[in-house]
Structure 1
Amino acid sequence: MPLALFALAVAAFGIGTTEFVIMGLLPDVANDLHVSIPSAGLLITGYALGVVFGAPILAIATANMPRRATLLGMTLTFVLGNALCALAPNYTALMSARVITALCHGAFFGIGSVVAAGLVAPNKRAQAIALMFTGLTLANVLGVPLGTALGQFAGWRSTFWAVTVIGLIAVVAQVAWLPKEIPLQRTNLAAELRVLGKTNVLLAMAMSVMASASLFSVFTYIAPILQDITGVSPHGVTIMLLIFGVGLTVGSILGGKLADSRLLPSLVGMALATVLIVAAFSQTSRSLIPAAITLFVWGVTAFALCPILQLMIIDQAHEAPNMGSTLNQSAFNLGNATGAWIGGLVVGSGVQLTELPWTGAALAMLTLLTALFYIYLQRRHAQTVGA
């Protein structure tokens, strides 16, 4: 079982690297393709929207297909998309290639989460999901900093070639280690779509949207913030991204453990902590050490929410876990796109980069308020049933 989870984590590492590394390379891509920083930032939005719309379509199309073959197909799509990114001759071609790469993202993580949860005992499900998502967080610890450094040294295209190789390694790992027969809960389209009508599912997805929007409204512009406000060199940005990535990894593991023990209190606690730490970044971004500490803690709180929200969706959408889990990935990436767009609007309006974290803090506050409303509805429902 650990090797099967490791195979999923390798693919998650590659997918996470290609999603996030563009942030560290934003100035390089903008200069090379002769576009503005906000226009280059739309490459993040385009990727996220590819996940948003591609995930449910692929979830429906593959609903009754073998899980192993489906995951392999998603990974091969990822390999193709990254190769096209590396070859893209202009901005439009790069945007198109990013969208192709994104098509596999949501369905892979959605289906992969359900597969991972099914490989372990019921009381270890969130930790299994977190282990798969550790590949995503390690992408931020290793993939993004190393990819940024490689892109700055050998050109941003070299980073996408490196990620293509990682994708091929993930294919080999899945062929070798994923079980030949993975249980498949067959369903029909009507049953899958009925999941969308459940209030608890919609609220959980809304929290995923807002939590991701909070992160990406600020993190999309992390390189300009660190260089222009903190005074970090381009190579120093790599180190700061590494620190943030360590925080993400710690947060993912912590969130998995918390979700298996105290799901709802952990949700509220991490949402509140995110509000406070993002707000603090408006001040700490002015100095190197405080900025580094803030980035680490922010990484912990932001990614602790991922396995918590993913397990909530699987539980609340138990009639159609694959659709629910995959749509939650769409929700995360809708938040990514929305956050990057909101951040771009704020920056484009003339607001100083030092004030941008307040936007992220406001979005995190919406996550917290939604979590409290979710708990209120849960308790009211329990009282009604008890009566």
Structure 2
Amino acid sequence: MKRSLLPLALGGLTIGITEFVMMGLLPDIATDLDVSITKAGYLISAYALGVVIGAPLLVVAGRNFPPKKMLVILAIMLMVFNGLSIIAPGFNLLLVSRLLSGLPHGAFFGVGAVVAARLADKGKEARSVAVMFSGLTVANVVGVPLGTYVGHHLHWRYTFVIIAAIGLLTILAMLLWMPNLEKEKQAGMRSQMGFFAKPQAWLIIFIVSIGAGGLFCWISYIAKLLTDISGFEETSVPYILMIAGVGMVVGNLLGAQVADRFSPAYAVLVTLLLMGLTLTGVYFLSDSKVISLILVFATGCISFALIAPVQTLMIQTAKGSEMIASAAIQASFNIGNALGAFLGGLPIDEGYGFASPNLVGVAMVLLGALGTVAFIKFFGSEKPAEKVMLMH
């Protein structure tokens, strides 16, 4: 791996832990701050809202900055806003810090993908982009379980100390090892914003926003699902999250293969239907420990298999508007994050138990599947793309 790509991988690691570790920490934070588990779930939605706000705004605001300077600014934001979570005295300030922490997420991956491709040797652009996203892989397999373990056994605030420390390492690595790249000439904002004039773009945004919500109905309350329904000890949760992380890695790889070989629209449709089946299984079968572990892997795998096909679909739609489309896909995924955490918490508040969010998830992925059927009917199904940069 080129040393100049390491800062991008560290940034991906920081973002990955920041976004997903909250699912494992919810019970600890709820107990410490004396709030309900569903109210603590607003911390997940707040981060997602930050991504939705920050992805397009920071892409536009930073379009005249050299890429290294922009990435350093975004990394500083990650470190400082995660640092606020360490010192937040109560729930309200923690909620604000989570919203602020989400702001740089989409812009970092958008700018970072362009920088990774420019730093690559000829013909190896996709591999360089994959290096940046390897940080997300490490976050899901190692970082999130480690952060959950620290939160359970020490204190949840120490998890954010770790995240802020990785953010600081990201900044130092950028200053030391990332070369100064000239700002590239980009399409005008009118051309970029023309993306939103396409009805198929809005339909993809709907598909991702609703379909991804199924994933977050499941994973937002996974810690209580595993302890209260499946009967695992709290100490087992970090290790089970590693199984989910491995499933996500496998799903991401499988999704890339599917997106290269088949129509992305049909791949999205099949993936959403399979996600509906796994979430149904989670609702009915999670009282068995063995089956629960299998479903943790399967649900993580299938949900992340959605990323590559839907990204391919977006790229095919966004000719000439790739940067703003990249921001839109980030925002859409995190609208699903916010909706899944919020809507999934409603049946818990009504006393239906910690398996009930998965039924909400089934409804959301089926709505996403209906949206995909509409996309195929009205806009057809493109042939698979030769190459696609995976964007989370």
Q: Same fold (TM over 0.5)?
A: yes
Q: Distance in 2 between matches of 1:334 and 1:298?
A: 19
Change (3 A) 1:281 1:2: farther
In structure 1, the residue corresponding to 2:64 is in which secondary structure?
coil
Structure 2 unaligned spans of 5+ = 384-392
Q: Distance in 2 between matches of 1:185 and 1:217?
A: 41
Q: In the alignment, what sits opposite 1:290? A: 291
Matched, 1:48 2:62: no
Matched, 1:256 2:264: no
Kindly provide the CA deviation profile for residues 108-138 of structure 1, in whole angstroms up to 9, marking residues without a partner as x: 1233344445666999777665553332232
Q: In the alignment, what sits opposite 1:60? A: 60
Q: In the alignment, what sits opposite 1:112? A: 112
Q: In the alignment, what sits opposite 1:18? A: 18
Deviates more, 1:347-356 or 1:155-164: 347-356
Q: Distance in 1 between matches of 2:69 and 2:190?
A: 24
Q: In the alignment, what sits opposite 1:228? A: 228
Checking the alignment, whether the CA contact within 8 Å between 1:126 and 1:257 is kept in structure 2 is: no
Q: Distance in 2 between matches of 1:144 and 1:240?
A: 11
RMSD, aligned α-carbons = 2.5
Q: In the alignment, what sits opposite 1:199? A: 199
Change (3 A) 1:287 1:26: same
Change (3 A) 1:229 1:275: same
In structure 2, the residue corresponding to 1:186 is in which secondary structure?
coil
Matched, 1:327 2:328: yes
Within-5 A mapping of 1:281-360: 281-360=282-361
Q: In the alignment, what sits opposite 1:103? A: 103
In structure 2, the residue corresponding to 1:227 is in which secondary structure?
helix
Matched, 1:277 2:278: yes
Q: Distance in 2 between matches of 1:307 and 1:295?
A: 20
Instruction: Compute the displacement of 1:19 (Å).
Output: 1.2
Kindly provide the CA deviation profile for residues 171-222 of structure 1, in whole angstroms up to 9, marking residues without a partner as x: 2333455453266242333222221111222222222212221111121111
Q: In the alignment, what sits opposite 2:386? A: none
Checking the alignment, whether the CA contact within 8 Å between 2:244 and 2:300 is kept in structure 1 is: yes
Change (3 A) 1:117 1:275: farther
Checking the alignment, whether the CA contact within 8 Å between 1:123 and 1:260 is kept in structure 2 is: no
Q: Distance in 1 between matches of 2:262 and 2:370?
A: 19
Q: Distance in 1 between matches of 2:291 and 2:297?
A: 10
In structure 1, the residue corresponding to 2:187 is in which secondary structure?
coil
Structure 1 unaligned spans of 5+ = 383-387
The amino acid of 2:352's aligned partner reads V
Checking the alignment, whether the CA contact within 8 Å between 2:345 and 2:357 is kept in structure 1 is: no
Kindly provide the CA deviation profile for residues 329-365 of structure 1, in whole angstroms up to 9, marking residues without a partner as x: 1111111001111011121122232333121122112
Checking the alignment, whether the CA contact within 8 Å between 1:22 and 1:44 is kept in structure 2 is: yes
Change (3 A) 1:202 1:178: farther
Q: In the alignment, what sits opposite 2:162? A: 162
Kindly provide the CA deviation profile for residues 11-47 of structure 1, in whole angstroms up to 9, marking residues without a partner as x: 1111110111111111111111121211111111111
Q: Distance in 1 between matches of 2:170 and 2:316?
A: 28
Q: In the alignment, what sits opposite 1:385? A: none
Deviates more, 1:193-202 or 1:113-122: 113-122
TM-score (norm 1): 0.90
Deviates more, 1:129-138 or 1:208-217: 129-138
Change (3 A) 1:253 1:5: farther
Change (3 A) 1:315 1:100: same
Deviates more, 1:236-245 or 1:129-138: 129-138
Instruction: Compute the displacement of 1:296 (Å).
Output: 0.5
TM-score (norm 2): 0.89
Checking the alignment, whether the CA contact within 8 Å between 1:9 and 1:134 is kept in structure 2 is: yes
In structure 2, the residue corresponding to 1:205 is in which secondary structure?
helix
Matched, 1:70 2:65: no
% identity of equivalent residues: 37
Q: In the alignment, what sits opposite 2:390? A: none
Checking the alignment, whether the CA contact within 8 Å between 1:274 and 1:364 is kept in structure 2 is: yes
Checking the alignment, whether the CA contact within 8 Å between 1:114 and 1:314 is kept in structure 2 is: no
Deviates more, 1:237-246 or 1:114-123: 114-123
Q: Distance in 1 between matches of 2:178 and 2:315?
A: 21
Q: In the alignment, what sits opposite 1:132? A: 132
Q: In the alignment, what sits opposite 2:144? A: 144
Equivalent residues, number: 382
In structure 1, the residue corresponding to 2:35 is in which secondary structure?
coil
Checking the alignment, whether the CA contact within 8 Å between 1:114 and 1:325 is kept in structure 2 is: no
Change (3 A) 1:359 1:117: farther
Checking the alignment, whether the CA contact within 8 Å between 1:15 and 1:105 is kept in structure 2 is: yes
Q: In the alignment, what sits opposite 2:387? A: none
